[in-house]
Structure 1
């Protein structure tokens, strides 16, 4: 899901634009802090990605679960950050109005550039002027909206679409064909910026890997998992695992999956559906997926955790990870301090002590091309305006703004400053994989669920008395149970799942504050959902003792071939006097890189102690999801399940 707007500045560029440029960079720094971007689940969910008539695609359930949350986020972004460029200003009377919808990671910059365009005095045909307005929406949601007449977005219908990748224009073609209508995106489109996929590593590790000479995807992310860093002469660094976004939710995750398949067939183009069925190919992909630490809904959050640990002088964020697969632009963002903690009033955080470097696999990589798409909704005058806007965006001054965010230019050229910051390219430059046919991408995602690393998950569900409180016409427990059922439906049949309930000692549970409801074992969704529906709600919230016991339970049943995680759903804070020691709990769940068991928390409803849940999750290199607004609980479960 491309990354957030970056922050770093380039002195030479600042001289070109002076104070205005600096103010723009400050605004983008604020967006970098808010966390909206196409590498975010609320951005690049790909439930909309394809609709083949022969079957319902694997990823469609994600859309139903998160649509409401996506519209809320897009609306909030629009209210806070939309630049209704030119309204009331010198171009308010322009006859041509051009609506542009951009993927969220670059929307803030595009809105600023629209202001600049509107103030530039440019004219199009017959001396007319155009007023450009930019609104943000993640690429996956925009794909779905364009396929359904742009309904339910709350945003103006665009004449120009700027997604993260041409992968989305291909998926929109599939949706149009399936519906029997004219294709909205039948062509190839020019880029306004580019960002290749890289393997990002902390500099000492990345430098060591580079010293080995050219290595491939399998050698870096697959074979290395057998012996860990001992294979590279550093056994003290432990095992080798890496972080990757879920391809159902993220452009980067999808691009990483495509790159893995290309590496498996030793080609850079013409990937076919027959390739996907080749046993040797599936074995290659499965071997790489086996080294995933856990899947992420948001690689930016992983980088923020890494930046916080760097600031504390610790070993670094999700410290069982040796690498992350993400956009080069995000490496720049991290190294410039854009994701580091910052004090009140600071424009950006401190640059990390240990920067990341970009490692380029020898087979090649996938490029996120940020296409400029003129849609059929544009009339002749709007098409002329779009042509002029494209020319404007590809001029040197505007391209410098993209470079400032860590992007390569519209012709894939990297600035010297970017390469100096993230790492030089291989001699002879990068090899890029060609985008596969959209039907191949569809088939790839359908099959990914069987190849991804499987999970070993223990769910701890809060059944304290406060879960009886009303949320509309239902109780908190009913809302939470329904969301859990939807989330469980997205797990794989080969996952192992267990269920505990917890509150405090009650008449129903006199011997202790938690109880095993379904033993950890082969996933049986019907059994778990039936057991949840029969649970009794009573008592206080024995949060700390339950998390400690659940974590210990999973450590004792640790499976090195799976992602091992505790999932905690609670509407409250710890109310159990027998165990009220948070510091001890944080120490007890601290991640052991040799047997990593991560804690994921969903803070449900307004009484939840999200700050504490976040501390617990981060101690284990897991993540807390904020559903204190109960309407967002479905979205939170989708994000959580995308980690497995």
Structure 2
């Protein structure tokens, strides 16, 4: 029905809208419908795995035309890892350089927060000693933690998890025994990492009995330390800060290492297999190219055989900082999410916790290789430990991490000008001083000339970090002759990778070896005879895989095309062997490239 409006009615509506603090514009073709002329802006910070789905919902919400009197607003969605958002909400001036300025800016203006789990809201209340929201939390979706890995890994002996899923204790024992390796997320920043931490302690306490995370007490934790330390020793890559970032490195051209598993939300397996985390996803498209090697989801079971896990409950939190109009729009957007819940369904989520049926027209649930349907099978939800116990678990987990042995290779060839060398040198010194005294570091520099057969040299031998390091030897270690030499990137990285891999193979199980390369990504040494592809092939052929992290420094002497190729080369070296490495830009983000890498290696955020 079309309602004809007189001028007096329109004036009355305008007065009503002004009174609400919301301004509307009448649609001349449909005078019974109005669009926002001056919408109330509401900023939403979402965990990374559901940010794209929420952007889709926000786009639909913002495009609505409304009947007079309806709330009128505009939603903007930002993607920030749950744990990082919690730290920034607790301390807006958080100074850790590993946290990006974009994350800081997004959280600073947020009115609504959608972490992956309510654990982060409880942690925020602990950190600030006050409540940051009012009212009952509303879950908008749920997803259980699962074991994710390539099908061939789950099927092979001694695991055989496709035929018979393990208990959580059996899964942890497989890690302790070296039957499978572990790609591990930082429990301070990642919900999956935090839930995996709680389940590790619960499995240690349960032995072969029933899992009861809520019964683990703070006084129990020291006696469980050896078990937890042994699980940690199965990691290959340090602490990864964001699960989605890991999955993007494996999709679509790369793949997860065949002897590795990761503990992530079930939804992420679905999203990964459907190309939702493709590195080459086109703007505006919800999915990109599917991965070359999909993952299977394994659902650990109780001793009785029922699947069980901790659920990520994805709460919708309207922050107290929002004013009356912003809270009204935030509440309206929440209603809109439930009215259009099929968008979250299509992204692989299960229905919200403690909510009635929600509408879903999405595709039928994907089936794993074992025949267990993703999203449709029943999973018993395990209760969480007490919030104080959870906080202590995370702190102890980080303190129990394996010893780090870090090899740093610095490009000092002629293309790395004085300013870039100074930046790289300062970044190395500052980062080394963040390490534990018992961690070890060695430093090489590299540059090639016609007369050099081994164009790299050691300036700090592998030894304990010890007391704070001033780095005087590093600052004075660049020979003047290197200013005219070529970059021997490929030769150096290949040789040092082999050296680090050999040391890892011969070393103790509770030690993690890492290679970090600082360069402009250009190899112009005539004796090299290699390429980025041949170096990657060498990495992949190595029996022992070690994480490689790279930092690109732009000296400003190359044209745009050569700079781009340098960036691509370093990104390829950091990701091509399947172990998730970071490829950072040393010229951006206020010098945060090296701290971000050390955050992943050390778990220091």
Shorter-normalised TM range? 0.7 to 0.9
- Taking a change above 3 Å as real, the CA distance of residues 382 and 579 of structure 1, as seen in their structure-2 partners, is closer
- Segments of 5+ residues of structure 2 without an aligned counterpart are 1-22, 28-33, 95-103, 207-211, 303-307
The 3 A distance-change label for structure 1 pair 356 and 184 is: same
Equivalent residues of 2:551, 2:583 under 8 A apart: yes
Give the Å deviation of 1:467: 3.4
Q: Which residue of 2 aligns with 1:60?
A: none
Match in the other structure for 1:213 = 164
Residue in structure 2 matched with residue 61 of structure 1 by the alignment: none
Structure-1 residue corresponding to 2:214: 269
- The answer to whether 1:531 aligns with 2:465 is no
Indicate if the aligned counterparts of 2:147 and 2:299 stay in contact, CA closer than 8 A. Answer: yes
Instruction: Indicate if the aligned counterparts of 1:262 and 1:433 stay in contact, CA closer than 8 A.
Output: no
Distance in 2 (CA, whole Å) between partners of 1:216 and 1:481 is 48
Map residues 156-195 of structure 1 onto 2, 5 A cutoff: 157-177=109-129, 182-185=130-133, 189-195=137-143
Contact 1:100–1:132, Cα closer than 8 Å, also in 2: no
Name which one, 1 or 2, has greater alpha-carbon Rg.
2
SS at match of 2:177: helix
CA drift of 1:379 comes to 4.5
Q: Which residue of 1 aligns with 2:18?
A: none
Aligned partner of 1:421 among 360, 367, 390: 367
Deviations for 1:248-305, whole angstroms, at most 9, x for unmatched residues? 332322222122122222313244322322x2x2122122111112233444454345
Q: 1:359 aligns with which of 290, 298, 320?
A: 298
Unpaired runs of at least 5, structure 1: 1-84, 229-239, 310-315, 470-474
Distance 2:92 2:596 in 1: 25
Shift in CA distance, 615/114, structure 1 to aligned 2, threshold 3 Å:
closer
More strand by share: 2
Whole-Å separation in 2 of the counterparts to 1:344 and 1:145? 30
2:305 maps to: none
2:265 counterpart (327, 340, 348): 327
Distance 2:258 2:236 in 1: 7
State whether residues 350 and 375 of structure 2, in contact with CA within 8 Å, keep that contact through their aligned partners in structure 1.
no
Q: How does 1:312-351 map to 2 (within 5 A)?
A: 317-319=255-257, 321-339=259-277, 348-351=287-290
Equivalent of 1:555 in 501, 504, 509 = 501
**What's the counterpart of residue 97 of structure 2?**
none
Q: Which residue of structure 2 aligns with residue 6 of structure 1?
A: none
Distance 1:468 1:454, change over 3 A: same
In structure 2, the residue corresponding to 1:420 is in which secondary structure?
Answer: coil
Partner SS state of residue 569, structure 1: strand
CA contact (8 A) 1:302 1:317 kept: no
For residue 459 of structure 2, what is the aligned residue in structure 1? 517
Partner of 1:242 in structure 2?
182
After TM superposition, give the deviation of residue 515 of structure 1 in Å: 1.4
Match of 1:291 in 2: 234
Shift of 1:191: 0.6
1:133 to 75, 79, 92: 75
| CA positional deviation for 1:371 | 0.8
- Find the counterpart in structure 1 of residue 8 from structure 2: none
Moved more, 383-392 or 491-500: 383-392
Does residue 370 (structure 1) correspond to residue 314 (structure 2)? The answer is yes
The match for 1:495 is 439
Question: What does residue 611 of structure 1 align with?
Answer: 568
TM-score when scaled to structure 1?
0.71
* CA distance in structure 1 between the partners assigned to 2:133 and 2:296 by the alignment: 36
Corresponding residue to 1:565 among 514, 519, 522: 514
Aligned-pair Cα RMSD in Å: 3.8
Number of residue pairs matched by the alignment: 525
Query: How far apart are 1:331 and its partner, in Å?
Result: 0.6
Q: Is the 8 A contact 1:460 1:568 kept in 2?
A: yes
Match 2:225 to one of 237, 257, 282? 282
Shift of 1:493: 3.6
Q: Structure 1 stretch 147-156 or stretch 434-443: which is displaced more?
A: 147-156
Asked if 1:585 is matched to 2:535, the reply is yes
SS in 2 for 1:394: helix
Could you tell me how far 1:528 is from its partner in structure 2?
Answer: 7.6
Q: Provide closer, same or farther for how the CA distance between residues 367 and 122 of structure 1 changes in structure 2, counting only shifts above 3 A.
A: farther
